Amino acid sequence: MAEFDLIAQYFTRQAAVDLGVGDDAALVSVRPGYQLAVSADMSVSGTHFFAEAQPFAIGWKSMAVNISDMAAMGAEPKWATLSIALPGVDHPWLRQFSDGLFACADAFEVALIGGDTTRGPLNIAINILGEVPRGQALQRNGARAGEDIWVSGCLGQAALWLQNRLGHLPLHADDIAMLATAMHHPQPRVRLGLALRGMASAALDISDGLLADLDHILQASRVGAELDWRALPLPRLQTPIEEETMQKAVLAGGDDYELCFTAAPQHREALLALSQQLNLPLSRIGKTTASPGLTVMNGNVALDIAKKGYQHFG
Amino acid sequence: MAEFDLIAQYFTRQAAVDLGVGDDAALVSVRPGYQLAVSADMSVSGTHFFAEAQPFAIGWKSMAVNISDMAAMGAEPKWATLSIALPGVDHPWLRQFSDGLFACADAFEVALIGGDTTRGPLNIAINILGEVPRGQALQRNGARAGEDIWVSGCLGQAALWLQNRLGHLPLHADDIAMLATAMHHPQPRVRLGLALRGMASAALDISDGLLADLDHILQASRVGAELDWRALPLPRLQTPIEEETMQKAVLAGGDDYELCFTAAPQHREALLALSQQLNLPLSRIGKTTASPGLTVMNGNVALDIAKKGYQHFG
């Protein structure tokens, strides 16, 4: 089967672009007054997902993690390219993968405008493009001391699922099902990111764990932070979980794809109203400090947070 | 070693962008009156290059094949993202790879603005962005019957190098050196692509072999073509090559990264002047026809061209 047939069969849809799949490049138009936001994420079998993972979930998540980067910038996701290496032509796999990919792309109005299909160990590389009004992007370097630190949704679910999957953490079946949904079908917080323009002073999405990712904001903004463990949004499970296990998952687990952002205290009311409006929990988990460093307080006791987050080449 | 250290050490340079590597996304500005051209190409060890290939050459070529897509559109290449899966952290390899990647990017004034580094079988996914004045892109669907068909440079060099490398074609050492340069350091024809705006009616770059790629123009433009084998630009080698071998390499070899384009006969003089100006051979190799199909004439004899070109999943 020819490369072009695979693209035509699985990865081509009508899209509202100037020129779509099928030429040397696609052509799109960026609106006047907007900047183009550009990001790329690669998903590898065995590193980002298990080889036996559902292809629909692989497709959804590969696209979702890219869209999440647009959310973190306050950008409107618009266009994506897909480069995929496949060990062979497995039609049922391709059908489910492309269904998952397009389910996510369609949910967030992203058009797949091009890419590449080739033979090789399974690898999914997506590049995403979005638009943001000039000067309004949510960057990492705008936090100031004395601001609130917020996170969306709830943290640690994907990490707990992984601990269960690896056999380290027995869980009730209902818990596994809930955590699996968080792991395999993350919901990029695009509406939140758009609404945070003009309110958040810094923002990012949590992919490597709250502490590791928050540290990027602190480094870029040259501030410190003190978090309140008791304010963190924990997964609500039927299975009792040891506190140590829960702390690792919530603080350093990663794969959350929730937004972490800073905002001046004056925005508290507006953010709580926004939480209602989006039907999405927003938790105020701490504050930025003039002195550098990152501490997590559990009442009067500082947690030992030596393990900062998942590192690909650790 | 952390993912962020690898990016900082090997893949971060100052670039003239609104916001470069280090946030959730890069920000760039597309000039008013321009469309954004978007393309992606993935290079896999064992499929696109030999595992023992020089890392400098892998870096150069991974970038070059993407820039070539911009050339084929008549677009000015501007920005690229790199997503790379690495089996481990091999510093000498990374140094040479990034040197090769940036050597090519710098030569064509492309800024690397983001990407992803992860663990996995070696895989290099690049997404390239360029600018083209609105409505002036060189597409595949604009050819009309009675136009000239042109190619730049010389064809078949990479394919002959591959035949030698696989042990099928003994060659003089000087020939091998020349062909290796064509294979490993293709020169994207960006200046040609820009100059062809307003002259070429259709264009693409030759990656899968002249016949297979030209066929895309013919299908998209709904015309046929008759090529003159004797007009094709063959490699000049010291080693005598059988005509059958040469025909396969030139017509179906692929990996040429020369431009193939159509233009009305009125542009002949201007194209020959352009060839002089760019110091780049431009060969008029045939003409488009109203009747569909693709034939290659060797004098009065039509060549048997059943083998149309390399297919990744053939």
> What are the tens digits of pLDDT across the range A189-233?
999 999 999 999 999 999 999 999 999 999 999 999 999 999 999
Tell me the chain A residues in contact with residue B311 when contact means C-beta distances shorter than 8 Å.
1-3
B122-156 residue pLDDT tens: 999 999 999 999 999 999 999 999 999 999 999 99
Report pLDDT for B10: 80
Report pLDDT for A209: 94
A168-191 residue pLDDT tens: 999 999 999 999 999 999 999 999
CA atoms of B104 and A127, how far apart (whole Å): 21
Report pLDDT for A10: 79
Closest Cα in chain A, distance from residue B66 (Å):
9
Residue B8 contacts A where some CB pair is shorter than 8 Å? no
Query: Which residues, other chains included, contact B6 with Cβ-Cβ below 8 Å and sequence gap of 6+?
Result: A313, B89, B94, B117
Whether A97 and A59 have beta carbons less than 8 Å apart is answered as yes
Residue B145 contacts A where some CB pair is shorter than 8 Å? no
CA atoms of B178 and B153, how far apart (whole Å): 14
Report pLDDT for B215: 95
Tell me the chain A residues in contact with residue B28 when contact means C-beta distances shorter than 8 Å.
35-36, 38
Q: Average pLDDT of B46-74?
A: 92
Whether B137 and B37 have beta carbons less than 8 Å apart is answered as yes
Report pLDDT for B162: 94
Report pLDDT for B280: 98
Identify which of B73, B130, B312 has the shortest CB distance to residue A117: B312
Report pLDDT for B7: 74
Q: Average pLDDT of B277-293?
A: 97
Q: What is the mean pLDDT of chain A?
A: 92
Tell me the chain A residues in contact with residue B36 when contact means C-beta distances shorter than 8 Å.
27-30, 36, 129
pLDDT band at A15 (very low <50, low <70, confident <90, very high): low
Mutate to test the interface with A, among B24, B28, B139 (most CBs of A within 10 A): B24
Q: Does the beta-carbon distance from A36 to B47 stay under 8 Å? A: no
Maximum pairwise Cα distance, chain A: 64
Tell me the chain B residues in contact with residue A39 when contact means C-beta distances shorter than 8 Å.
24-26, 81, 114
For A183, how many CA atoms within 13 A lie in the half-sphere containing its CB?
22
Identify which of A118, A119, A121 has the shortest CB distance to residue B121: A121
Report pLDDT for B51: 76
- Is the pLDDT at B243 greater than 60, yes or no? yes
- Is the pLDDT at B1 greater than 60, yes or no? no
Closest Cα in chain A, distance from residue B161 (Å):
21
Closest Cα in chain B, distance from residue A46 (Å):
8
Annotated binding site of A for Mg(2+): 24, 39, 41, 69, 116, 205, 208
Residue A40 contacts B where some CB pair is shorter than 8 Å? yes
Closest Cα in chain A, distance from residue B23 (Å):
6
Partner A, chain B 235-274, Cβ-Cβ below 8 Å: none
Query: Which residues, other chains included, contact A135 with Cβ-Cβ below 8 Å and sequence gap of 6+?
Result: A35
CA B283 from centre of chain? 17
Residue with tokens 């080693």: B239
Partner A, chain B 203-222, Cβ-Cβ below 8 Å: 203-205, 220
Give the CA distances from residue A5 to residues A1, A15, A94, B313, in Å, rounded to whole numbers and listed in that order: 7, 19, 12, 10
Identify which of A18, A32, A41 has the shortest CB distance to residue B83: A41
B183: nearest Cα among B128, B235, B230: B235
Cβ-Cβ pairs closer than 8 A, A with B, add up to: 239
Residue A52 contacts B where some CB pair is shorter than 8 Å? no
Identify which of B114, B118, B132 has the shortest CB distance to residue A44: B118
DSSP H or E run through B108: none
A291-312 residue pLDDT tens: 999 999 999 999 987 654 444 4
Whether B288 and B143 have beta carbons less than 8 Å apart is answered as yes
- Is the pLDDT at B221 greater than 50, yes or no? yes
Residue B3 contacts A where some CB pair is shorter than 8 Å? yes
Give the CA distances from residue B271 to residues B147, B278, B280, B293, in Å, rounded to whole numbers and listed in that order: 13, 10, 11, 26
A142-159 residue pLDDT tens: 999 999 999 999 999 999
Residue A218 one-letter amino acid: L
Q: What is the ipTM of this complex?
A: 0.90
CA atoms of B305 and A75, how far apart (whole Å): 50
CA atoms of A34 and A30, how far apart (whole Å): 7
Report pLDDT for A192: 98
B24-53 residue pLDDT tens: 899 999 999 999 999 999 999 877 888 788
Annotated binding site of B for Mg(2+): 24, 39, 41, 69, 116, 205, 208
Tokens of A173: 């079946």
Whether B256 and B234 have beta carbons less than 8 Å apart is answered as no
Residue A158 contacts B where some CB pair is shorter than 8 Å? no
Tokens of B71: 């050339």
DSSP H or E run through A132: strand A123-133
Report pLDDT for A312: 44
B72-115 residue pLDDT tens: 999 999 999 999 999 999 999 999 999 999 999 999 999 999 98
Which of helix, strand or coil describes residue A292? coil
Whether B142 and B204 have beta carbons less than 8 Å apart is answered as no
pLDDT band at A314 (very low <50, low <70, confident <90, very high): very low
Residue A116 contacts B where some CB pair is shorter than 8 Å? yes
Report pLDDT for B312: 44
- Is the pLDDT at A271 greater than 70, yes or no? yes
Residue A25 contacts B where some CB pair is shorter than 8 Å? yes
Report pLDDT for A289: 98
Strands A294-298 and A224-228 come out as parallel
- Is the pLDDT at B238 greater than 50, yes or no? yes
Identify which of B36, B120, B141 has the shortest CB distance to residue A30: B36
Put residue A114 in one of left, alpha, beta given phi > 0 → left and psi -120 to 50 → alpha. left
CA atoms of A15 and A78, how far apart (whole Å): 10
- Is the pLDDT at A18 greater than 50, yes or no? yes
A249: nearest Cα among A146, A166, A173, A141: A166
CA atoms of A228 and B46, how far apart (whole Å): 50
Tell me the chain A residues in contact with residue B129 when contact means C-beta distances shorter than 8 Å.
36, 38, 129
Tell me the chain A residues in contact with residue B6 when contact means C-beta distances shorter than 8 Å.
313
**Searching chain B, which residue's CA lies closest to the CA of residue A120?**
B44
Q: Does the beta-carbon distance from A41 to B123 stay under 8 Å? A: no
pLDDT band at A4 (very low <50, low <70, confident <90, very high): low
Report pLDDT for A30: 94
Residue B210 one-letter amino acid: L
Which of helix, strand or coil describes residue A257? coil
